[in-house]
């Protein structure tokens, strides 16, 4: 099969290789998926750039979509030919979705509704599930104000849609260039975080209360807003990332005197029952056509270097996808 891999950390142009590899065979409890699309996420490019390799050769990317071509022992033959999307394809595994085929445990290939195309299916494992979990952790958001930082990024765009469908009022942050994309997702107001005082604008938009909850992409920036009333008393900040992977100061007085909650999670490690429920809800939303998918750029498998560079530049509005096969 054709695949893309790296054998050391470095820049995309220096370390990514396109070539032929042996097609994997599904083991017991596994399915072999012929991939049609592979999602390229920020975590994928960060892993290639600097995360220690877990094997001599890494085929990157955890998200993908395609058709089940073979099944291993113990998997129902009825799954053959099923359209699926893949999650955690390269999480704690060396061979991800930047290839024509991937063998994964049966449960990691989820039925894809007929109305959802493969490029959209390659956006679900990290962006959509992260968004869904972040909104879930904020509890019942109906009638409440939710601040979504990075409302125009891949996760934020889904989070805005999900929160709005659950009855929240959503304030998003985005650059001026991405403002319309956040509004398209359904945000009620968008704050230009580069030009405006985010906490002051949230205070203004909430009559001085602050947001009831936050879905946050960058704790290194948002933590500094807590002493300035960005979050209402008894509010909750749910964070799934940080632009600084190091110690981040958080104001204890702000947390204490406002009875705030901070919860951090990583979508790769959802408890089994949480993932099961999230996948069930996501499937319902997809089947009902209640989510819009933003594909910002599509590259051929042979253009994976360009795809990684597009993610790293931050200039693409929407998800970056590889068209495979």
For residues 215 and 156, is the Cβ–Cβ distance under 8 A? yes
| pLDDT, position 102 | 98
| pLDDT, position 154 | 96
Averaged pLDDT for residues 311-325: 95
**Which CATH superfamily is 137-264 part of?**
Medium-chain alcohol dehydrogenases, catalytic domain (3.90.180.10)
| pLDDT, position 112 | 98
DSSP letter at 234? E
pTM of this prediction exceeds 0.85: yes
Report the candidate in 95, 104, 103, 100 with the shortest Cα–Cα distance to residue 20: 100
219-242 residue pLDDT tens: 999 999 999 999 999 999 999 999
**Distances 315 to 18, 89, 116, 152, 319 between C-alpha atoms, Å:** 25, 26, 26, 12, 11
141: tokens are 């958001």
| pLDDT, position 14 | 98
For residues 123 and 38, is the Cβ–Cβ distance under 8 A? no
Q: Which residues of 45-81 are buried (b: 16+ CB within 10 A; e: fewer)?
A: bebbeeeeeeeeebbbbbbbbbbbbbbbeebeeeeee
- Residue range(s) occupied by CATH 3.90.180.10 in the chain: 2-123+293-323, 137-264
6-26 residue pLDDT tens: 999 999 999 999 999 999 999
* Predicted confidence band of residue 245 (pLDDT cuts 50, 70, 90): confident
**Does domain 2-123+293-323 bear CATH number 3.90.180.10?**
yes
Report the candidate in 155, 125, 154 with the shortest Cα–Cα distance to residue 62: 125
Q: Across all residues in the chain, what is the average pLDDT?
A: 97
DSSP letter at 221? H
Give residues with Cβ within 8 angstroms of 102, minimum separation 6.
Answer: 24, 32, 33, 35, 64, 86, 89, 95, 96
Q: Return the SS3 of 73.
A: coil
């Amino acid at each position: 099969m054709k695949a893309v891999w790296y054998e050391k950390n470095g820049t995309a142009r220096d370390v990514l290789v396109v070539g032929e590899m042996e097609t994997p065979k599904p083991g017991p409890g596994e399915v072999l998926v012929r991939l049609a699309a592979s999602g390229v996420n920020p975590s994928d490019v960060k892993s290639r750039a600097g995360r220690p390799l877990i094997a001599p050769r890494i085929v990157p990317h955890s998200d993908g979509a395609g058709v089940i071509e073979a099944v291993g022992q113990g998997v129902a033959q009825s799954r053959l030919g099923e359209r699926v999307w893949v999650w955690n394809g390269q999480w704690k595994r060396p061979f991800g979705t930047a290839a024509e085929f991937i063998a994964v445990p049966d449960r990691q290939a989820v039925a894809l509704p007929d109305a959802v195309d493969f490029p959209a299916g390659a956006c679900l494992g990290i962006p959509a599930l992260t968004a869904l979990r972040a909104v879930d952790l904020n509890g019942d958001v109906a009638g409440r104000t939710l601040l979504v930082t990075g409302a125009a990024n891949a996760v934020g765009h889904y989070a805005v849609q999900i929160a709005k469908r659950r009855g929240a009022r959503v304030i998003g942050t985005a650059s001026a260039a991405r403002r319309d994309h956040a509004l398209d997702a359904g945000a009620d107001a968008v704050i230009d975080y580069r030009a405006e005082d985010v906490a002051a604008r949230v205070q203004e938009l909430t009559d001085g209360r602050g947001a009831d909850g936050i879905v946050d992409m960058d704790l290194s920036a948002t933590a500094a807003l807590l002493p300035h009333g960005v979050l209402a008393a008894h509010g909750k900040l749910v964070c799934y990332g940080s632009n600084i992977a190091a110690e981040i100061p958080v104001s204890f007085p702000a947390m204490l005197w406002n009875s705030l909650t901070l919860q951090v999670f990583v979508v790769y490690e959802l408890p089994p029952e949480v993932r099961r429920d999230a996948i069930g809800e996501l499937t319902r939303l997809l089947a009902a056509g209640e989510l819009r998918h933003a594909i910002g750029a599509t590259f051929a498998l042979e253009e994976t270097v360009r795809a990684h560079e597009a993610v790293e530049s931050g200039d693409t509005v929407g998800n970056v996808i590889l068209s495979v096969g």
